[in-house]
Chains A and B, each alone.
Chain A
């Protein structure tokens, strides 16, 4: 590097390039990974397909995980029942889409998107409401005890999963994508599924919207400050509990959105699907740094890409690859890629 050449006027504020780059390393991880994928995968077209599919998957996981990581950051609450919102979102959304068969079957992009929007809205309303009840009934009494939180939210997950069986029956449901979202288009010789591109767009929109709220609004200020020191936010005159309930509901609704997205991605839904996705979500929030939305975003894209590249290069290693990724990142940065500052341990 050129600026490591001897210089006789070092100022205190000017750190060496390597030092200054350090906080940005995680951000570079995604492009580097995509580049590595390009080198490892022989055909450019398959690389492009895999990259889009990895990003789509990552975006969906991000949508699901963002709420969970914020809930943890804000109130130190770990919700193992988050997967229930994914499943419920998927089932509610699918029911709406099946009911709107005329709209989803029509070869009109507008009608199709309206149907999907209706499904998403219904799913988010239901899971948001569930989140509210979940926070009230299940989480509220066990603030401050991680052990009890894990146990109780796990119990909540079991109950919610069983309720899906009661309401929708035990069998899986097949759901086809709306007419105009089926199939793929060709770009630079690679077949890109339309739906995956849409998923990337939706995920990106959610990320940007979250960032906007967190960076530009008073509510965002309260949330960011609350992640670091909830007590001080209280002492400044903000009711953090109310903010927390809001974040919990929003996070649950986002999980519901993720559930609908995942349903249309897989085109089949089952009751335990939420909990299966949670495994990836946990990996993402751990490597991203519990409590950090940015870290969660980077982590989700990384996991999505690694999963897809690995599945292509060595199918049997797909799931193991993410565990390996998690181990590697935890060895590199034990608190995750974007560690969250906490006022106290």
Chain B
């Protein structure tokens, strides 16, 4: 077990319990929460966990802020979509598309890293923001390849679609959709364990040293730029794989589901609230975020109606404004809980 976790124990009873709970819930989601809506949520949680964890690789371990993470996510998704579009529904198309997305993400990440990290780490945030938004515009303009604003629907092998049936297990009818879910689940679990391995390797420890004091790390003899560039590439490539899985699951890609600024903001919020530089923060943060998204919105809706007679208050409490409160929570957590939920649970500051 510890080997699988690369020796990185949760180091908190509550955290271990939470993680086990989330793992079990996701592993048996089709049996525990039947219905396509909840399966949809479970798959989304799996993918977002990997996406957020790969972002944490960069932000939490590298101390670098990127706004292009969804761009890499999108590269994986569009890679699969375009390959399936050109080559027809087959596993070869999916594999080739994912590979193409992976390589493209790696190369672009390397170029961006070399361009900006060479100069100043803060340029990275600005440059990635500019590039990501330019790419988003480009994707919506190149509709011949990408389907433009409408996005594109994927044709995937029949065994992964709801139309495919293969008997019952524990009273649940196993469809292609459920097989597809397990593809996503295993893929995400594997990617997460790989990332745990990375951050607990000597490479990960050097990254932490760089985050704490880049100048000192450079003085000891580590090439800071090289390490940061490698971290950028790894993070981008894992995001691309997560994107490929997401595209296969949704059987659809579009600019808003994969490239949007909103998704980028969500990732940022989850990493910080979950706990930067912990990996497990991505798991806990995502689970709480997705639940809060549903639960909090309902609560706000109720409060908003209850206060409808008052001026302004109902507008502030409207469910559409939940991002407002999340933003406030985000700022407060950067000030007061810089290590997020996981840091709190571990009792470190």
Given A159-B327, A159-B328, check contact A330 B130 (CB 8 Å): no
Contact, CB under 8 Å: B131 / A323: yes
C-alpha gap A159/B125 in the complex (Å): 20
> Which residue of B65, B137, B324 contacts A319 across the interface (Cβ within 8 Å)?
B137
Given A151-B65, A158-B265, A334-B118, check contact A316 B141 (CB 8 Å): yes
Q: Does residue B21 face the partner (Cβ distance < 8 Å to A)?
A: no
- Which A137-191 residues have a C-beta within 8 angstroms of B? 138, 141-142, 146-148, 150-152, 154-156, 158-159, 162-163, 165-166, 170
Complex interface: chain B residues within 8 A of A158 (CB): 265, 323-324, 326-327, 330
C-alpha gap A151/B331 in the complex (Å): 8
Q: Which of A12-20, A97-105, A202-210, A278-286 contacts B (4 or more CB under 8 A)?
A: A278-286
C-alpha gap A219/B157 in the complex (Å): 69
Given A147-B65, A158-B265, check contact A282 B335 (CB 8 Å): no
> Which residue of A80, A155, A272, A319 contacts B331 across the interface (Cβ within 8 Å)?
A155
Q: Does residue B138 face the partner (Cβ distance < 8 Å to A)?
A: yes
Complex interface: chain A residues within 8 A of B217 (CB): none
Complex interface: chain A residues within 8 A of B118 (CB): 334
Contact, CB under 8 Å: B125 / A80: yes
Complex interface: chain B residues within 8 A of A138 (CB): 331
Total contacts A to B, CB within 8 angstroms?
Answer: 102
C-alpha gap A151/B60 in the complex (Å): 12
Q: Does residue A117 face the partner (Cβ distance < 8 Å to B)?
A: no
Q: Does residue A78 face the partner (Cβ distance < 8 Å to B)?
A: yes
Complex interface: chain A residues within 8 A of B321 (CB): 162, 165-166
Contact, CB under 8 Å: B327 / A155: yes
C-alpha gap A279/B130 in the complex (Å): 5
Complex interface: chain A residues within 8 A of B20 (CB): none
Q: Does residue B129 face the partner (Cβ distance < 8 Å to A)?
A: yes
Complex interface: chain B residues within 8 A of A272 (CB): 261
Complex interface: chain B residues within 8 A of A334 (CB): 118-119
A88 → chain B, closest Cβ, in Å? 15
Q: Which residue of A lies closest to B323 (CB)?
A: A162
Q: Which residue of A lies closest to B123 (CB)?
A: A286
Q: Does residue A327 face the partner (Cβ distance < 8 Å to B)?
A: yes
Complex interface: chain A residues within 8 A of B126 (CB): 282-283, 285-286
> Which residue of B119, B123, B327, B334 contacts A148 across the interface (Cβ within 8 Å)?
B334
Q: Does residue B80 face the partner (Cβ distance < 8 Å to A)?
A: no
Q: Does residue B115 face the partner (Cβ distance < 8 Å to A)?
A: yes
Q: Which residue of B lies closest to A149 (CB)?
A: B122
Complex interface: chain B residues within 8 A of A152 (CB): 331, 334-335
Q: Which residue of B lies closest to A153 (CB)?
A: B331
A70 → chain B, closest Cβ, in Å? 16
C-alpha gap A286/B334 in the complex (Å): 26
C-alpha gap A220/B320 in the complex (Å): 45
> Which residue of A146, A155, A276 contacts B334 across the interface (Cβ within 8 Å)?
A155
Q: Which residue of B lies closest to A316 (CB)?
A: B141
Given A147-B65, A279-B129, check contact A159 B134 (CB 8 Å): no
Q: Does residue B290 face the partner (Cβ distance < 8 Å to A)?
A: no
A34 → chain B, closest Cβ, in Å? 24
Contact, CB under 8 Å: A163 / B335: no
> Which residue of B215, B268, B328, B338 contacts A154 across the interface (Cβ within 8 Å)?
B268
Contact, CB under 8 Å: B115 / A148: no
Contact, CB under 8 Å: B138 / A320: yes
- Which A300-342 residues have a C-beta within 8 angstroms of B? 316, 319-320, 322-323, 326-327, 330-331, 334-335
Contact, CB under 8 Å: B320 / A282: no
C-alpha gap A320/B139 in the complex (Å): 12
Q: Which residue of B lies closest to A76 (CB)?
A: B122
**What are the 10 tightest A-B residue pairs by CB atom distance, in nearest-first order?**
A162-B324, A158-B327, A282-B126, A159-B327, A155-B331, A155-B330, A334-B119, A319-B134, A150-B65, A166-B315
**A residues near B, CB below 8 A?**
78, 80, 138, 141-142, 146-148, 150-152, 154-156, 158-159, 162-163, 165-166, 170, 272, 275-276, 278-279, 282-283, 285-286, 290, 316, 319-320, 322-323, 326-327, 330-331, 334-335, 345
Question: Assuming A156-B327, A162-B327, what are 12 further A-B pairs, CB within 8 angstroms?
Answer: A147-B59, A150-B122, A150-B125, A154-B265, A158-B327, A159-B328, A166-B316, A166-B321, A316-B142, A330-B115, A334-B118, A335-B119
**B residues near A, CB below 8 A?**
59, 63, 65, 115-116, 118-123, 125-127, 129-131, 133-134, 137-138, 141-142, 215, 261, 265, 268, 272, 312, 315-316, 320-321, 323-324, 326-328, 330-331, 334-335, 338
